């Protein structure tokens, strides 16, 4: 059921964008066409994106949880300059959980036999700088990105029903490589895919860092200001 709801949400978004595209095409361009310099390529634009993804824990985290994140989601806003760069920010939420069947844990002076539910729930806010390898008027624009910010790491292990919770705010970095596919300039939608590595120092019990690789897909729309 969970997946269904998730899919429905994304279908709704796709539907919304397609409706918008149709409407936008009906608007007539009243500008004369001679000597035309497309103003959209000389002005900065703004982009808002919703980004689901696939997040895989890496070394440091995968000793604790080695299953992919459940419905990770991010929203981002960026200011795309006509030169080959953009700046913006991401708000990113990632939730991981993994059931561990009954096992015996030997702590200092305690032997514990229990099943566990291991969870991490992170929310991060990062500022991003992107450098593009193609001009703004290009439809396809590969880019490299560096993100840095702060992450609220929510570690929680259920030992049977007993919670062992640790919440910390930690600096985080998120370098990424990706590709941006712009629609026609009369249209406002953008598709984006990037591979992102996220690292956050966090050490507690079974975990030595919050550390994962993400494939991040984005559906965004852009607009221009005067």
Residues at the site binding another protein, with contacts judged by CB under 8 A = 2, 5-6, 8-10, 12-13, 16-17, 19-20, 23-24, 27, 29-32, 36-37, 39-40, 43, 48, 50, 70-71, 73, 75, 95, 97, 99, 102, 104, 108-115, 117, 119, 158-162, 188, 221, 223-226
Give the position of tokens 């990770």. 72
Instruction: In whole angstroms, give the CA distance from residue 52 to residue 68.
Output: 13
Instruction: State both tokens at 191.
Output: 């598709």
Give whichever of 50 and 173 is closer to another protein, judged by the CB atom: 50
CA distances from 91 to 5, 43, 83, 125, 184 (A): 21, 25, 25, 5, 27
Give whichever of 46 and 129 is closer to another protein, judged by the CB atom: 46
* Pairing status of strand 45-57 against strand 162-182: unpaired
Q: How far is the CB of 81 from another protein (least distance, A)?
A: 17
Instruction: In whole angstroms, give the CA distance from residue 102 to residue 179.
Output: 44
Give whichever of 59 and 184 is closer to another protein, judged by the CB atom: 184
Give whichever of 168 and 185 is closer to another protein, judged by the CB atom: 185
Alpha helices (H) along the chain:
2-25
Q: How far is the CB of 188 from another protein (least distance, A)?
A: 7
Give whichever of 58 and 73 is closer to another protein, judged by the CB atom: 73
Q: How far is the CB of 29 from another protein (least distance, A)?
A: 7
In 183-209, DSSP assigns E strands to: 189-200
Q: How far is the CB of 131 from another protein (least distance, A)?
A: 26
Give whichever of 51 and 194 is closer to another protein, judged by the CB atom: 51
Angle at 189 between CA 187 and CA 191, to 5 degrees: 140
Q: How far is the CB of 225 from another protein (least distance, A)?
A: 8
- Torsion angles phi and psi, residue 176, rounded to 5: -150, 155
Q: How far is the CB of 71 from another protein (least distance, A)?
A: 7
Contact assessment for residue 189 and residue 219, using Cβ atoms and an 8 Å cutoff: yes
């Amino acid at each position: 059921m969970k997946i269904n709801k998730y899919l429905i949400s994304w279908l709704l978004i796709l539907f919304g964008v397609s409706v918008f595209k149709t409407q936008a095409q009906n608007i007539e361009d009243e500008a004369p066409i001679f000597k035309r310099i497309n103003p959209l390529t000389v002005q900065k634009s703004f982009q808002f994106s919703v980004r689901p993804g696939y997040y895989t824990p890496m070394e440091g985290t995968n000793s604790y949880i080695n299953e992919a994140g459940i419905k990770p989601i991010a929203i981002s806003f960026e200011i795309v300059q006509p030169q080959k760069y953009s700046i913006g920010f991401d708000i990113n939420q990632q939730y991981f959980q993994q059931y561990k069947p009954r096992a015996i844990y030997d702590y200092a002076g305690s032997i514990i036999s229990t099943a566990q539910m291991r969870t991490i729930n992170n929310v991060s806010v990062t500022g991003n700088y992107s450098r593009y390898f193609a001009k703004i008027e290009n439809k396809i624009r590969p880019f490299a990105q560096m993100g840095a910010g702060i992450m609220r790491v929510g570690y929680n292990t259920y030992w049977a029903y007993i919670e062992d919770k640790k919440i910390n705010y930690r600096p985080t970095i998120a370098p990424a490589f990706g590709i941006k596919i712009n629609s026609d300039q009369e249209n406002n939608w953008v598709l984006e895919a990037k591979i992102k590595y996220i690292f956050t120092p966090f050490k507690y019990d079974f975990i030595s860092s919050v550390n994962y690789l993400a494939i991040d897909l984005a559906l965004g729309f852009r607009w221009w200001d005067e």
